[in-house]
Structure 1
Amino acid sequence: MNYSTYFTNNSTAKITADLIGRPLTYNDGQHLMGGYIVETEAYLGARDRAAHSYGNRRSPANEGLYRAGGTIYIYSQRQYFFFDVATQELDEPQGILIRAIEPAWGIEQMTANRGGKSGVLLTNGPAKMMQAFGIHDKHWNLRFLDDSPFSIDLDNAHKKHAAKIIAGPRVGINQSEPEWAQKPLRYYVAGNPYVSRMKKRDYTENHGWK
């Protein structure tokens, strides 16, 4: 299956859940870095009060969400950068935030990129993941996945399977919008230590994989 089909042939929520366990890699030209996706968040476009495209707001900053499914949308908050992929058809501004990966490739280089931080601190959050890849700008924003150094492996033979995937509220959503703040649109591997805000007491054997 190609990216265009994968990111448009289902609801954004279903795609967000299906990404769990898939390999995400980034090649900086010298090093292949990446890991298995363990945490994702869905954003449902114009009706979603937590989405950058709520009310069909459109600007150069969020243009990536309006592109065809499979387009990279990188945005920044302060000095931090975040990696999203647009879903659905052109001008239907939905997308998925990749929040965390369990490192598997290029760990030594990712550790160097994170200033020596290792273990769960390496990639247990969306900004940390981008720092681990050595990304500090929006250079790849608006590029299609096929036309970038990022890769999400859609081969089910290479996918890790979680013993349990939890759907819960998204992180950092304004609680003044209780309906959208509490919608279960964040998906993560139960017990995986690389999931952001996962408490040590909740870690499970084998990191939550089958």
Structure 2
Amino acid sequence: MEGIILNGYEVVKREFFQRPTLDLAADLLGCLLVKDTEEGVASGYIVETEAYMGPLDRAAHSYNNRRTKRTEVMFFEAGHVYTYVMHTHCLVNVVSGELEKPEAILIRAVEPFEGIELMYKRRGMMKETNLTSGPGKLTKALGISKEDYGRNFYEPPLFIAKGYTPDSISSGKRVGIENSGEAKEYPWRFWIADNPFRSK
């Protein structure tokens, strides 16, 4: 199924994910995150990501090579789906890095593209810029769930497709990791500059 055209989207190939994690975190910006469900297709341009650099990153779930039922997929090949629940919200990550090197990239925000009415049905009526402007918001809007854990991002029903190349990318500290020592200062969050759909 790699590299196919699906529902009008050009699915990225497996090789797309085989690059250093920080490079991939920036290169995902402008790509389309797509979920095909029984209710329909919903998608959005990725506008914000956060990289988590594995065993040496105190903010990463896999810090010190922590291998649990939840983190097991982080040790898989790059391009797999890592979902988990935090405070009742499902969050979605792209597994990155080399095999047995547990790194991942959190998708923090997307700009709605297809299925906007479906997103409103799932999230309720609000300003469009609030629909998907956070990691828990976007998964609910797109219909991404814990059941997507262990899939890969180059095959349906949850996949990443080619989009556009942003004119300008910004980077800064990650969000919500105050108890991670010096790791909270690492500039491993990336976003499309001036995009109104990124998290606040």
TM over 0.5: yes
Amino acid paired to 1:181: K
Measure the CA separation in 1 of the matches of 2:177 and 2:13. 28
Query: In structure 2, how many angstroms separate the alpha carbons of the residues matched to 1:142 and 1:25?
Result: 16
Higher relative contact order (CA 8 A, sep 6+): 2
The alpha-carbon deviation at position 23 of structure 1 amounts to 1.2
Q: Structure 2: which amino acid aligns with 1:13?
A: L
Match of 1:167 in 2: 171
Equivalent in the alignment of 2:151: 143
Cα 1:3–1:87, aligned 2, differ >3 Å: closer, same or farther?
Answer: farther
Please say if 1:62 is aligned against 2:66. Answer: no
Describe the superposition over 1:100-148 as per-residue Cα deviations: whole angstroms up to 9, x where unpaired.
001010000001100223411100000000110234x411101122344
Change (3 A) 1:142 1:176: closer
3-state SS of paired residue (1:139): helix
- Conserved in 2, the CA contact under 8 Å of 1:74 and 1:81? yes
The residue correspondences of 1:62-141 to structure 2 (distance < 5 A) are 62-135=71-144, 137-141=145-149
CA distance in 2, matches of 1:176, 1:40: 18
Partner of 2:160: 152
Match of 2:7 in 1: none
Give distance in 2, aligned partners of 1:26 and 1:191: 26
Letter aligned with residue 115 of structure 2: G
Q: Which residue of 2 aligns with 1:189?
A: 192
Partner of 2:24: 15
Q: Please say if residues 95 and 105 of structure 2, whose CA atoms lie closer than 8 Å, have aligned partners that are also in contact.
A: yes
Task: Report sequence identity in percent.
Answer: 39
Unaligned 5+ runs, structure 2 = 4-11
Structure with bigger helix share is 1
List gaps (5 residues or longer) in structure 1: 198-210
Q: Is the contact made by 1:111 and 1:118 (CA closer than 8 Å) also made in structure 2?
A: no
| TM-score under structure 1 length normalisation | 0.85
Number of residues of Structure 1 aligned to a counterpart in Structure 2: 190
**8 Å CA contact retained: 1:170, 1:185:** yes
TM-score normalised by the chain length of structure 2: 0.89
